[in-house]
Amino acid sequence: MSKVESSLKKPELANEGRKKIDWVADRMDILNEIKWKYEGEQPLDGSSISICLHLEAKTAYMAQVLADLGARVSITSSNPLSTQDDVAAALAEYGVEVHSWYGATEEEYNSFLNKVLDIKPHLLIDDGGDLVDLIHNTRRDLIKGIIGGSEETTTGVQRLRAREAEGKLEFPMLAVNDAYCKQLFDNRYGTGQSVWDGIIRTTNLVVAGKTVVVAGYGWCGKGVAMRAKGLGARVIITETDPIRASEAWMDGFRVMPMQEAAVQGDFFITVTGCRDIIRGEHFRVMKDGAILANAGHFDVEINIPELSEQSLIEEEVRKNIRKYEMKDGRRIYLLAEGRLVNLAAGDGHPVEIMDMSFGLQVLSLLCLKENPDLEKGVHRVPDEIDREVAYLKLKSLNVSIDELTPAQKEYLTSS
Ligand code: ADE
């Protein structure tokens, strides 16, 4: 493909990025099946797709597949710290328009969001809702050309639902986040593994025997807690939802308010989608050496200004670890500036997991393209797409399952 105009920090790293993309491409069986099935038809020919997703190798490979299916693709990252510059460079060389670099300032981040919209998209992929917000707030001229889009995350779907409730969502959005093949695998096993990968590679500390406080027991929190237990930690869950709190208790975890947990924790991980989960009154009672990490979409779950206010000395003590030394000598360590620890200090979810999520994404865009008259609003991903991804997953695992006999089908459907 021909080279297009991109905004890159380190174009000279394209060879390194290419190796990363090729590694994952070989292992994303679902995306490859979809590509082989549709490439001859070029179903996305003539479509412009704007993407805002964490720009690492798996995302880059999905963007390549969309381009291979005929689309013009422009991409930026959904977090200023989740772009891998080598991957971005390699993707641009492939012919995808890339506007992103690691460590973008807020101003650069916003200008990149605007740049990916300059291709006048027919279709969108959003992660966290920034692209959709920008279109509705300042790029309204684009709305008439948009068939629809898909949203990757819990936070993004929450924002879409709020916008829809106010009557302010002007096109259809498929909630990829809510698909079974997303929640059960990406949110649970993906977050469960990648959060610990990010924490362990950043700190090089042991988890066994430590007390881990997980704030939030949604699918992502369940995954983080389950893996903490597997690593030998004593796990405490904090929740505001009584059903989830009961579930955590039945799953064998201790459940208590953050104020009580704050005294006990060695590691704290926020996974709630809300703000100020760990704040002033909690920092005041934490143990010396406590480590804080966030795995929610936005960097508001740990109140960093209050942490800063309470501390005498702030210092980067190791890559992605910032020390806050309190007036009484206690030290609290914050990982990755309170941004998504699995992406800002790691490579995101494992390859085979993102393969499922991105399989859902590509099939969702194909579905939107085939159904251009879908009503505006938030829609579930059609069940057939969820099941197709599950079948492709089983195929890639070489696992077969039983089929219902005609008599069984009748038994299940007759009154
Ligand atoms: N890689 C790309 N997008 C991701 C996401 N939303 N979560 C984790 N890893 C990712």
Task: Provide residues with CB under 6 Å of ligand 1.
Answer: 53-54, 56, 58-59, 127, 152-153, 190, 194, 342-343, 348-349, 354
Pocket test for ligand 1, best of 21, 53, 78 (most atoms within 8 A of CB): 53
Q: What values do phi and psi take at 8, rounded to 5?
A: -125, 155
The helix (run of H) or strand (run of E) holding residue 197 is: helix 191-203
Q: What is the pLDDT of residue 380?
A: 98
CATH tag, 189-344: 3.40.50.720
Residue 2: pLDDT band with limits 50, 70, 90: very low
Is pLDDT at 1 greater than 80 in this prediction? no
Ligand 1 centroid from CA 382, angstroms = 22
CA–CA dist 36, 32 (Å, integer):
6
Ligand 1 centroid from CA 247, angstroms = 26
93 alpha carbon, distance to own chain's centre: 25
Q: What is the pLDDT of residue 253?
A: 98
pLDDT digits (tens, 9 = 90+) for 120-169: 999 999 999 999 999 999 999 999 999 999 999 999 999 999 999 999 99
Is pLDDT at 4 greater than 90 in this prediction? no
Radius of gyration of the chain (CA): 22
- Token pair of 215 as six digits: 């704030």
Classify the C-alpha dihedral 188-194-197-200 as positive or negative.
negative
| Residue of minimum CA distance from atom 1 in ligand 1 | 348
Q: Find the angle CA(307)-CA(310)-CA(314) to the nearest 5 degrees.
A: 70
Domains 11-182+349-396 and 189-344 agree in fold = yes
Is pLDDT at 331 greater than 60 in this prediction? yes
Residue 59: pLDDT band with limits 50, 70, 90: very high
| Residue of minimum CA distance from atom 3 in ligand 1 | 54
Ligand 1 centroid from CA 192, angstroms = 12
Residue 166 to residues 162, 175, 341: CA-CA distances in angstroms? 6, 18, 32
Q: What is the pLDDT of residue 220?
A: 97
Quote the DSSP letter at residue 13: G
Classify the C-alpha dihedral 4-9-13-19 as positive or negative.
negative
Is the separation of the CB atoms in 291 and 199 below 8 Å? Answer: yes
Is pLDDT at 104 greater than 80 in this prediction? yes
Q: What is the chain's mean pLDDT, rounded?
A: 97
pLDDT digits (tens, 9 = 90+) for 249-277: 999 999 999 999 999 999 999 999 999 99
Is the separation of the CB atoms in 214 and 237 below 8 Å? Answer: yes
Ligand 1 centroid from CA 85, angstroms = 16
Is pLDDT at 173 greater than 50 in this prediction? yes
Mean pLDDT across 213-227: 98
* Nearest Cα residue to 296 out of 243, 240, 261, 336: 336
Quote the strand ranges of 289-405, DSSP E.
Answer: 291-294, 311-318, 321-326, 331-335, 377-380
pLDDT digits (tens, 9 = 90+) for 301-328: 999 999 999 999 999 999 999 999 999 9
pLDDT digits (tens, 9 = 90+) for 5-38: 999 999 999 999 999 999 999 999 999 999 999 9
Number of H helices, E strands in the chain: 18, 15
Q: Tell me the three state secondary structure of residue 285.
A: coil
- Provide, rounded to the nearest whole percent, the portion of the chain with pLDDT above 70: 99
Quote the DSSP letter at residue 377: E
Ligand 1 centroid from CA 328, angstroms = 39
Pocket test for ligand 1, best of 130, 177, 357 (most atoms within 8 A of CB): 357
pLDDT digits (tens, 9 = 90+) for 239-249: 999 999 999 99
Q: How far apart are the first and last CA of the chain?
A: 57
CA–CA dist 56, 91 (Å, integer):
10
Q: What is the pLDDT of residue 3?
A: 56
* In the chain, where the domains are located: 11-182+349-396, 189-344
For residue 317, the number of C-alpha atoms closer than 13 Å in the C-beta half-sphere is 16
| Residue of minimum CA distance from atom 10 in ligand 1 | 348
- Provide, rounded to the nearest whole percent, the portion of the chain with pLDDT above 90: 99
CATH tag, 11-182+349-396: 3.40.50.1480
Pocket test for ligand 1, best of 127, 186, 343 (most atoms within 8 A of CB): 343
